[in-house]
């Protein structure tokens, strides 16, 4: 275990050179923004480094820097919401010859390209701990303040945890991942002291039961559970009304618990480096469509996830055996839903279970199925009938269902994939996403075989 952790540490620590470059870029840019603001008479605004660079917990190779411009409350939240703040920051970027674009997630912000880094410049309102945020990002500076002392010396433990979660596909709070945000990983390290501490505790987590409350805002876990209805609850120490783990899905939480169990059982570097998806296959229905223009990624991921889950339900109800469904988008060109199934076609006949023979509805059932392919017949005390299916093909079933879905989905190509070879004809990034969806997690291969492996079936 120590050996594996020492090796892993070398993988997750940025180089001296990277430290230097990211530090320089951040400092320079903060200087330029500060100058620009001061020259325009906005001395009351603070330009600050936030996020994983500020906390010293970014992963090697990351090109992301977060800079927050903290605006005093007396300027009013309209200063941000009207776009005035963004316009001001864009002016400063332009006069410094820095390319920029604007983004609107829950909150407008500016993205700069600077010395090869992508720098998010985010305006926010100054608030105090415990105070209600005025915009979605006002908490970030408080997070940095909260972590400052508590995280010191444990930065690389956070990096181990982030890398571990990234390999598990559960690092990131965006809806496409439904996993653990950077801040949440930091809170976990603060709470449990170390990477291994978090893993040991995760082994006894239980979805919808586990509550962490590092700020001790609630009298008991059961009080918190009544307020937050999420698989995992981690009360934000700087805001008692917020679950910092709200994005974590049951699957992400369960994946982390399983990984924690397996890693402590059988430590391996496989848990820290992203491997190639293993070759695996099942018959698949693929819906592929162009990424809908001008839609923010979270909206599209949400649509895809709802579509994938509702199509799974519809197909199950029609008699298809759905193994698993998933969704993916590169957030630029392609959006896709995949449904892995036992079979892409149903048998031509279908058993209808009717009412009990003495139920009044039995007459209606008999009328309806009097020309059945087989029966109506009685088994036990109940009527049954075997009827021809109207829809046997999964593509046809999905086509009918799509007409009820958002416009972007209605235009989807419906593709049946019968063999692994057919995957190769897809666009490379889509092919890779599907292979990842089908494959087993690479860290599973680390599981040592049991000495007395049994050969019996299931």
Q: Segment near a copy of itself (CB under 8 A), from 219-227, 290-298, 377-385, 393-401?
A: 377-385
Strands 233-236 and 211-212 come out as parallel
Question: What residues from 272 to 311 belong to the interface with a copy of itself (CB under 8 A)?
Answer: 280-283
| Shortest distance, position 273 Cβ to a copy of itself, whole Å | 19
395 lies in the binding site for a copy of itself (CB under 8 A): no
Question: What residues from 45 to 104 belong to the interface with a copy of itself (CB under 8 A)?
Answer: none
Question: What residues from 434 to 453 belong to the interface with a copy of itself (CB under 8 A)?
Answer: 438-441, 444-445, 447, 449-450, 453
Sign of CA dihedral 140, 144, 145, 147: positive
Question: What residues from 168 to 207 belong to the interface with a copy of itself (CB under 8 A)?
Answer: 203-207
Residues 6+ apart with CB under 8 A from 449: none
Dihedral over alpha carbons 415, 421, 426, 431 (to 10 degrees): 100
Neighbour count for residue 3 (Cβ, 10 Å): 9
362 lies in the binding site for a copy of itself (CB under 8 A): yes
The single residue among 87, 357, 361, 410 that binds a copy of itself, judged by CB under 8 A, is 357
- Cis preceding-peptide flag for 376 (omega within 30 of 0): yes
| Contact assessment for residue 98 and residue 112, using Cβ atoms and an 8 Å cutoff | yes
> Which single residue is written with the structure tokens 């997690």?
441
The single residue among 364, 396, 411, 419 that binds a copy of itself, judged by CB under 8 A, is 364
Question: What residues from 208 to 227 belong to the interface with a copy of itself (CB under 8 A)?
Answer: none
3-state class (DSSP) for residue 339: strand
400 lies in the binding site for a copy of itself (CB under 8 A): no
The single residue among 41, 97, 153, 347 that binds a copy of itself, judged by CB under 8 A, is 347
The CA distance from 416 to 315, in Å, is 14
Q: Which is nearer to a copy of itself, 49 or 366 (CB)?
A: 366
| Contact assessment for residue 142 and residue 155, using Cβ atoms and an 8 Å cutoff | no
Q: Which is nearer to a copy of itself, 148 or 447 (CB)?
A: 447
350 lies in the binding site for a copy of itself (CB under 8 A): yes
The single residue among 1, 148, 349, 400 that binds a copy of itself, judged by CB under 8 A, is 349
Both tokens assigned to 139: 């908490």
411 lies in the binding site for a copy of itself (CB under 8 A): no
Q: Segment near a copy of itself (CB under 8 A), from 147-155, 182-190, 267-275, 373-381?
A: 373-381
What mask, x for binding a copy of itself by CB under 8 A, covers residues 236 to 275? --------------xx-xxx-xx--xx--x----------
- The dihedrals phi and psi of 42, each to the nearest 5 degrees, come to -105, 55
**C-alpha closest to that of 280 among 310, 323, 321:** 323
The CA distance from 376 to 354, in Å, is 9
The single residue among 383, 409, 430, 442 that binds a copy of itself, judged by CB under 8 A, is 383
Q: Which is nearer to a copy of itself, 131 or 345 (CB)?
A: 345
| Shortest distance, position 294 Cβ to a copy of itself, whole Å | 33
340 lies in the binding site for a copy of itself (CB under 8 A): yes
Question: Burial of 106 by CB count in 10 Å (0-12 exposed, 13-18 middle, 19+ buried)?
Answer: exposed
Residue 322 DSSP class:
E
The CA distance from 184 to 195, in Å, is 13
Q: What are the distances in angstroms from CA 190 to CA 52, 213, 281, 388?
A: 15, 11, 41, 61
The residues of the shown chain that bind a copy of itself, judged by CB under 8 A, are 203-207, 250-251, 253-255, 257-258, 261-262, 265, 280-283, 321, 323-324, 340, 342-343, 347, 349-352, 357-358, 362-364, 366-368, 370, 372-384, 386-387, 390, 438-441, 444-445, 447, 449-450, 453-454, 457-458
């Amino acid at each position: 275990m120590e050996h594996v952790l020492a090796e892993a540490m070398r993988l997750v620590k940025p180089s001296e050179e990277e430290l230097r470059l990211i530090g320089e870029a951040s400092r320079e840019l903060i200087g330029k923004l500060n100058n620009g603001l001061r020259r325009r008479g906005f001395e009351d605004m603070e330009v600050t480094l936030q996020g994983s660079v500020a906390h010293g917990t970014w992963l090697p190779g990351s090109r992301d820097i977060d800079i927050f411009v903290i605006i005093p409350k007396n300027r009013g939240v309209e200063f941000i919401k009207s776009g005035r703040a963004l316009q001001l920051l864009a002016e400063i970027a332009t006069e410094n010859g820095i390319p920029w674009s604007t983004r609107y997630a829950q909150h407008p912000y500016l993205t700069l390209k600077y010395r090869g880094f992508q720098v998010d410049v985010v305006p926010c309102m100054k608030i105090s701990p415990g105070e209600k945020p005025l915009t979605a990002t006002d908490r970030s500076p408080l997070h940095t303040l909260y972590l400052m002392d508590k995280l010191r010396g444990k930065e690389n433990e956070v990096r181990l945890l982030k890398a571990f979660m990234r390999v598990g596909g559960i690092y990131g709070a965006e809806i496409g991942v439904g996993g653990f945000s950077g801040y949440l990983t930091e809170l976990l390290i603060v709470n449990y002291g170390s990477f291994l501490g978090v893993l040991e505790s995760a082994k006894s987590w239980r979805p919808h039961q586990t509550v962490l409350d590092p700020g001790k805002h609630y009298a008991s876990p059961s009080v918190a559970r009544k307020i937050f209805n999420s698989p995992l609850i981690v009360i934000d120490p700087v805001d008692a009304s917020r679950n910092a783990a709200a994005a974590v899905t049951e699957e992400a939480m369960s994946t982390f618990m399983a990984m924690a169990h397996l890693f402590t059982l059988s430590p391996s570097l496989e848990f820290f480096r992203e491997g190639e998806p293993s070759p695996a296959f099942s018959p698949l229905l693929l819906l592929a469509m162009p990424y809908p223009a001008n839609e923010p990624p979270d909206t599209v991921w949400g649509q895809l996830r709802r579509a994938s889950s509702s199509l799974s339900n519809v197909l199950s109800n029609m008699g298809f055996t759905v193994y698993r469904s998933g969704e993916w988008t590169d957030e630029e060109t392609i959006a896709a839903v995949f449904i892995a199934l036992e079979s892409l076609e149903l048998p031509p006949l279908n058993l209808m279970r009717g009412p009990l023979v003495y139920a009044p509805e039995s007459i209606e059932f008999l009328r309806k199925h009097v020309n059945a392919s087989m029966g109506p017949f009685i088994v036990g005390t109940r009527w049954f009938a075997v009827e021809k299916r109207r829809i046997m093909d999964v593509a046809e079933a999905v086509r009918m269902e799509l007409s009820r879905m958002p416009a972007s989905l209605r235009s989807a190509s419906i593709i049946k994939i019968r063999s692994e070879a057919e995957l190769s004809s897809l666009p490379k990034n889509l092919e890779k996403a599907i292979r990842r969806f089908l494959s087993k997690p690479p860290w599973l291969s680390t599981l040592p075989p049991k000495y007395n492996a049994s050969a019996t079936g299931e």
